[in-house]
C-alpha cells in the first residue's frame, strides 16, 4: 500500500481480514452510514452515543465511543478516497469533542495519525473485509509502539467484528 516515499513507509502494517455472511452492499451501508455505525462500531462493551459523517473525500467522520464506566473517547476519520462499495482510505486519529486531533488517551506513544484502508470484496454472497493500518507521519518511537500493539489491536477488532456480525445477522434475520 504505502510506497517507499510515503509518510507511512516505515514500520509494519496492521492487517486484518474477516469474511462476513452478508452481501457487500449491505456491509458497505452499515460501515458508512452513521445510524448503522452507532449500533455496532467499537470494541466490545463500548457504545457510540454521538457521531457525524460527511462521506466524501476530505469529509470527516467524528465519533464518540463510551466505555462501560462512562469514560468517553473521541475519534476522527478524514476520508481520502471513497470507491463505493469497494474501498475506503482515510486518516484515522483520536480527537477531542470538538474534532481537534489528540493523543491516544491511554497510550501517549501511539501515532497521532494512522493511514487506514478498508476493502470490501463480495464472494458468493459473503463479503471479505480487509483492513490495513499504517502509522502515518509518525516518529520512530511511535512506529515502534504501533508495531508492538498489533496483538491488542487484534483483540479490539475481534470484539468490533463480533458486534458487526451480530448486527448484520439481525438486519438479515
pLDDT digits (tens, 9 = 90+) for 17-60: 999 999 999 999 999 999 999 999 999 999 999 999 999 999 99
Q: Which residue has the cell 455496532?
A: 40
More confident residue, 163 or 10: 163
96 grid coordinates: 477531542
Q: How confident is the model at residue 91 (pLDDT cuts 50, 70, 90)?
A: very high
The percentage of residues in the chain with a pLDDT greater than 70, rounded to a whole number, is 94
| Per-residue model confidence (pLDDT) at position 9 | 45
| Per-residue model confidence (pLDDT) at position 159 | 94
Rounded Cα distance between 47 and 163, Å, is 11
SS3 19: strand
| Per-residue model confidence (pLDDT) at position 75 | 98
What is the residue extent of each domain of the chain? 16-172
The mean pLDDT value for 88-109 works out to 96
Distance of CA 40 to the CA centre of its chain: 12
| Per-residue model confidence (pLDDT) at position 31 | 98
Distance of CA 45 to the CA centre of its chain: 16
pLDDT digits (tens, 9 = 90+) for 4-22: 334 444 569 999 999 999 9
Asked if residue 104 has pLDDT above 90, the reply is: yes
pLDDT digits (tens, 9 = 90+) for 106-161: 899 999 999 999 999 999 999 999 999 999 999 999 999 999 999 999 999 999 99
Count of alpha carbons within 13 angstroms of residue 124, beta-carbon side: 1
Superfamily of the domain at 16-172: START domain (3.30.530.20)
| Per-residue model confidence (pLDDT) at position 11 | 67
Amino acid at each position: 500500500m504505502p510506497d517507499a516515499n510515503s509518510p507511512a513507509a516505515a514500520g509494519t502494517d496492521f492487517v486484518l481480514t474477516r469474511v462476513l455472511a452478508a452481501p457487500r452492499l449491505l456491509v458497505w451501508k452499515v460501515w458508512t452510514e452513521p445510524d448503522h455505525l452507532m449500533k455496532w462500531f467499537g470494541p466490545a462493551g463500548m457504545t457510540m452515543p454521538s457521531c457525524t459523517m460527511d462521506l466524501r473525500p476530505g469529509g470527516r467522520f467524528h465519533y464518540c465511543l463510551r466505555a462501560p464506566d462512562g469514560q468517553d473517547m473521541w475519534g476522527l476519520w478524514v476520508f481520502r478516497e471513497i470507491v463505493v462499495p469497494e474501498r475506503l482510505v482515510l486518516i484515522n486519529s483520536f480527537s477531542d469533542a470538538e474534532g481537534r486531533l489528540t493523543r491516544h488517551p491511554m497510550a501517549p506513544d501511539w501515532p497521532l495519525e494512522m493511514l487506514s484502508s478498508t476493502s470490501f470484496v463480495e464472494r458468493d454472497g459473503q463479503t471479505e473485509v480487509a483492513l490495513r493500518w499504517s502509522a502515518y507521519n509518525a516518529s520512530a518511537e511511535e512506529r515502534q509502539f504501533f508495531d508492538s500493539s498489533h496483538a491488542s489491536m487484534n483483540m479490539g477488532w475481534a470484539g468490533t467484528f463480533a458486534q458487526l456480525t451480530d448486527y448484520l445477522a439481525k438486519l438479515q434475520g
